[in-house]
Amino acid sequence: MSRNYDLSDPTDLEVLKSDFEMYSADEWQEMIDYSLSEDNKKMLSYDERGVLMQARKKALYNSHPSPRQMVWALKVADKVEEHKKGKKE
């Protein structure tokens, strides 16, 4: 789902929020758990795992992190999803 967002464009910001809201707190937690499993620990950096945790927290309270954090969280989510697909194949 990798997409480039123009953070100065209000339309892109709305699309970004919509893309971020596509994931529930439970889905963020699944990604965190997946990245913490023994086989996948080296897949994400400490900071990348932290942004997933921030995204989960924001999703729990129906709020939004900054646009840059949302972009980063979505990129990390894409990375986790790609890793899952690679493992299934």
Q: Give the predicted TM-score (pTM) of the model.
A: 0.89
Grade residue 24 by pLDDT with cuts at 50, 70 and 90.
very high
Average pLDDT estimate for 41-66: 92
pLDDT for 86 equals 83
Q: How far is CA 28 from the centre of its chain?
A: 7
Q: Check pLDDT > 90 for residue 54.
A: yes
User: What does the alpha-carbon distance between residue 6 and residue 52 come to, in Å, rounded to a whole number?
Assistant: 22
Amino acid present at 29: Q
Q: Could you give the angle at the alpha carbon of 74 between the alpha carbons of 70 and 77, nearest 5°? A: 140
Give the orientation angle of helix 67-88 with respect to helix 46-60, to 10 degrees: 110
